[in-house]
Amino acid sequence: MCGRELDYVKKAFESNYIAPVGPQLDQFEELFSEITGLPHCVAVANGTSAIHLMLRCIGIKPGDLVLASTLTFIGSVAGAKYLGADLGFIDCDYDTWNMDIDVLEKEIESLLKSGIKPAAVLPTENYGQPCDVDRLRSVCDRYEIPLVMDCAETVGATYKGQHVGHGVKAAAFSFNGNKIVTTSGGGMVTSDDGALIDHARYLANQAKQPGWQYEHHEIGYNYRLSNILAAIGISQLEVIEQRVQRKREIFNQYKDELAEVPGIRFMPDVSYGVGNRWLTAVMIDEKEFGVDNIAVMTGLEAENIESRPIWRPLHTQKVFANCRVAGGQVAESINRQGICLPSGTSMSNEDVTRICKTIRSLCKTRSLRETG
């Protein structure tokens, strides 16, 4: 928390809108639009529901095929399954850790040859790293497939000078407790298309027809964000720039302090945008470092330092055993070697130094042991 949340929550209480509607909710949406330049948005209960709603609004229906990133969190694709769609997974590349656009293109071509037209492409922007939207769009436009983006982790990140989420049919964001800014739980659907967002708002509000009668022509969802939680979100959005700056400082400190350690590879920086470095993610090369990522995570835990593995690729999950996958080896190798290091913005520089010291002590290759 940044310290001003309770002031806004107090205002929400004073407004007496202890409900999924109210002035703080309106203000949160307006502020999000202002900060991101994304003209239309609707705040919802979480990122998973935002993605579900976004897919429903672009018309995804049972039997459709949605092409998604394999290196991602399950919340990215659950919405497609809620709608009865099938999933096809696409590998990522080492340069971005995001969807490999060449693999995507080949997969679309091969699907089209067998008479299957994907209904949507849904890449994830991993760990705060923006996707190359122009390249993705040129592929999707060529085959007339809607492109929607999972920006759950990239609030505050930019692509070619603009906030991420532009240039796609719709985008979804998360304000989960672990994200760069949070409402405890929350999400947002955005689009350049005002009619799409109006539709999303209507569906998120139980698809209630205008007017005071409880009239419904279709089934919607109870997905709106609480006014109280939106109040938390307002104060969080006010500090988004500082948050991104601090996240990037933490990443740079890790990079500097671990520069001499053999076998540590950081998630790369892309040239076309600025990631928010939501999590500092690295790969450990066991041969060069001397032990594997699990040994590093265990060693950190012994010092009471929490770390996390990289997403387990979705094509390797039991629940998706029958899904198509294009490639997958890059995602598997990043998962096999990866670690998300502690990245909380409330960490001090001394905390980061202590973590780096612990990582250095875990390195079992000779040169480092000799130099200490």
- Six token digits for residue 330: 């890059």
The single residue among 20, 118, 187, 273 that binds ligand PLP, judged by CB under 6 A, is: 187
Site string for ligand PLP, 120-149 (x = CB under 6 A): ----x-------------------------
93 binding ligand PLP? (CB under 6 A): no
Task: State the DSSP H helix or E strand holding residue 110, giving kind and residue range, or none if neither.
Answer: helix 101-113
Tokens of 211: 């007017």
For residue 179, indicate whether it is catalytic.
Answer: yes
Binding mask 248-277 for ligand PLP (x = CB under 6 A): ------------------------------
Single-letter amino acid, residue 108:
I
Kindly tell me which residue out of 48, 182, 183, 226 binds ligand PLP, with binding defined by CB under 6 A. Answer: 48
**DSSP assignments along 191-210, one per residue:** ES-HHHHHHHHHHHBTTBPS
Please report how close the Cβ of residue 276 comes to ligand PLP at its closest, in angstroms: 13
Q: Name the E strands within the chain.
A: 40-44, 65-69, 86-90, 120-122, 148-150, 158-159, 162-163, 170-174, 187-191, 264-266, 273-274, 280-284, 324-326, 338-341
Residue span 53-82 as binding mask against ligand PLP, x where in contact by CB under 6 A, dash where not: -------------------xx-xx------
How far is the CA of 272 from the CAs of 54, 228, 238, in angstroms?
A: 26, 37, 25
Q: Would you count residue 47 as binding ligand PLP (CB under 6 A)?
A: yes
In whole angstroms, how large is the CA radius of gyration of the chain?
21
- Phi, psi of 72, rounded to the nearest 5 degrees: -165, 180
* Catalytic-role residue among 11, 113, 160, 179: 179
The neighbour count for residue 212, using CB atoms within 10 Å, is 6
Cβ proximity to ligand PLP, 148 vs 264, nearer residue? 148
Contact call for residue 174 and ligand PLP (CB under 6 A): yes
Q: Is 236 in the site for ligand PLP (CB under 6 A)?
A: no
Q: How big is the site for ligand PLP, counted in residues (CB under 6 A)?
A: 14
Kindly state the smallest distance separating residue 349's Cβ from ligand PLP, in Å.
Answer: 27
335 binds ligand PLP (CB under 6 A): no
Q: Partners of 28 in the beta sheet?
A: none
Catalytic positions are: 179
Which residues contact ligand PLP (rule: CB under 6 A)?
46-48, 72-73, 75-76, 124, 150, 152-153, 174, 176, 187
